[in-house]
Amino acid sequence: MQRTLILLKPDGVQRRLVGTIIERLERKGLRLAGLKMVQATPELAARHYAVHQGKPFYDSLLQFLTSGPTVAMVWEGREAVAVARALMGPTDGTKAPPGTIRGDFALSVQNNLIHGSDSPETAAAEIALWFRPDELVEYQPVDAGWIG
Ligand code: IDP
Ligand code: MG
């Protein structure tokens, strides 16, 4: 079963969209494996977005991710990485189609509410960055046979 790291970035918390966004992931059938609220340090933000170091928006992006609390989650399910990315929509809120999280709630490129890992390999590294192994919970959802 594939896992992905999802962050509800500080704009999602400030705009009180945490419940709305979690509901979309939950109703798709993904299984919540871990959840916590984190005030990201500059070090954590820099490690999370290391791939973007040197880009024009990098400093602003770190400022954004450390500007308030983030809700960090691990979601699990068949093709969880791609499924979560599809639910999120493309990076730029103005280009994200209606029906996606960014398409419905974001207008900005930077303040686009949600992060989702972009590959299973990235997901493994990002989950290890944000969660200790004992913070992830194994259980069998009672409807697993219906959702697959
Ligand atoms: P993604 O979150 O859709 O995977 P990435 O290209 O990995 O997008 O960029 C990481 C984050 O950096 C984005 O979610 C967004 O917050 C921010 N970002 C990306 N491109 C830009 C830009 O051109 N201007 C400002 N912020 C950007
Ligand atoms: Mg990305």
CATH number of the structural domain spanning residue 118: 3.30.70.141
At residue 148, the pLDDT reads: 80
Q: Is residue 143 part of a domain?
A: no
Residue holding tokens 């079963």? 1
Atom from ligand 1 closest to the CA of residue 115: 2
Residue 15 structural domain: 2-133
Whole-number Cα distances in Å, 129 to 54, 126, 140: 21, 5, 25
The b/e string for 1-40 (b: 16+ C-beta within 10 A; e otherwise) is ebbbbbbbbbbbbeeebbeebbebbeeebbbbbbbeeeeb
Q: Is residue 26 part of a domain?
A: yes
User: For the segment 103-144, what is each residue's pLDDT rounded down to a tens digit?
Assistant: 999 999 999 999 999 999 999 999 999 999 999 999 999 999
User: For the segment 31-69, what is each residue's pLDDT rounded down to a tens digit?
Assistant: 999 999 999 999 999 999 999 999 999 999 999 999 999
Whole-number Cα distances in Å, 104 to 48, 56, 84: 25, 26, 15
In the annotation, is 48 catalytic? no
At residue 105, the pLDDT reads: 98
- What's the pLDDT band for 88 if we cut at 50, 70, 90? very high
The b/e string for 54-78 (b: 16+ C-beta within 10 A; e otherwise) is eeeeeeebbebbbbebbbbbbbbbe
Q: Is residue 60 part of a domain?
A: yes
Q: Is residue 138 part of a domain?
A: no
Cβ < 6 Å from ligand 1: which residues? 52, 57, 61, 91, 109-110, 112, 115, 118
Q: Is residue 39 part of a domain?
A: yes
Verdict on whether the full-model pTM lies above 0.95: yes
Q: Is residue 31 part of a domain?
A: yes
Q: Is residue 114 part of a domain?
A: yes
Q: Going by CA atoms, what residue is nearest to atom 8 of ligand 1?
A: 91
Q: Is residue 141 part of a domain?
A: no
Total domains in the fold of the chain: 1
